[in-house]
Amino acid sequence: MKKHLIAAASAALVLAGAAHASGDHHHASWSYGGETGPEAWGKLKSEYSACTGNQQSPINIVAKQALESDMTKIKFDWSDTALQVKNNGHTIQANYDEGSSIKVNGDKFDLLQFHFHSPSEHALNGKLYDMEAHFVHKADNGELAVVGVFFKEGKENKALAPIWNNMPQHVETKDVAGIKINGEDLLPKDTKEYFHYMGSLTTPPCSEVVNWYVLAEPIEASKEQIEAFSEVIHANNRPVQPLNRRFVLAND
């Protein structure tokens, strides 16, 4: 059953990417508000039925309730990549060239892309941060791993600048010549402390096949940078979902 779910989730990612690349946003079947908002996702299409499941993301992470674990530190092996920025109508996304990956607890996952949500999707001890980046990875067997990084309002984030300066104002994909970026520039200094749980994609089809690794230490972005994102995308955070019978592991 898990293999079927993983295959379905992987196919969904490919199809979603194809739809976004084609610019077919006028017929978007879901949104973050109104009749097609998060509360309705599971009823919009049969393919979205997992959105009503019991292992959904995001969640509120309560640090004191997380179980201490001896998980390994996440090994980031991310290279520079040509800058390709996509506005898919739901987020701003930077696509990644092949060859970058993470290794965690003996498993390797290849980095596909990273994108942003504002406010944050995950909450930490009941608090939503100003923004959250999701670094989406996929293993050879189709299993997914997403690294979440919180942003708080503070000083200007220079690593965001090339992405923000080329942010499409409408649904579009931009290949920016002569500029390379590296996702490691958007990681906090301390990546050892993180929270891990099993969850889902935070957007339809909400497939419950995601290994989540949410870093505890936030990084900063200026008020102007946060507002610039919100002016283009507006609020794009799914409300936190019940933890149900799952548990959260803490690595520190």
Our answer to whether residue 90 is catalytic in this structure is yes
Query: For 94, phi and psi rounded to 5 degrees?
Result: -110, 120
- The tokens for 80 are 């520079």
Structure tokens at 180: 């390379």
Tokens of 168: 């499409």
**Length of the chain in terms of residues written:** 252
Q: Which residues contact 65 (CB under 8 A, 6 or more apart)?
A: 248
The tokens for 244 are 């149900």
From 4, 26, 27, 90, active-site residue:
90
Write down the residue that tokens 């979902």 correspond to: 241
Dihedral-angle region of residue 178 (phi above 0 means left; psi in -120 to 50 means alpha; beta otherwise): left
CA gap 57, 197 in Å, rounded: 10
Give 142's contacts (C-beta < 8 A, 6+ positions apart): 3, 6, 7, 9, 10
Q: State residue 9 phi and psi, 5-degree precision.
A: -65, -40
Structure token pair of residue 63 = 């640090």
Catalytic residues: 90
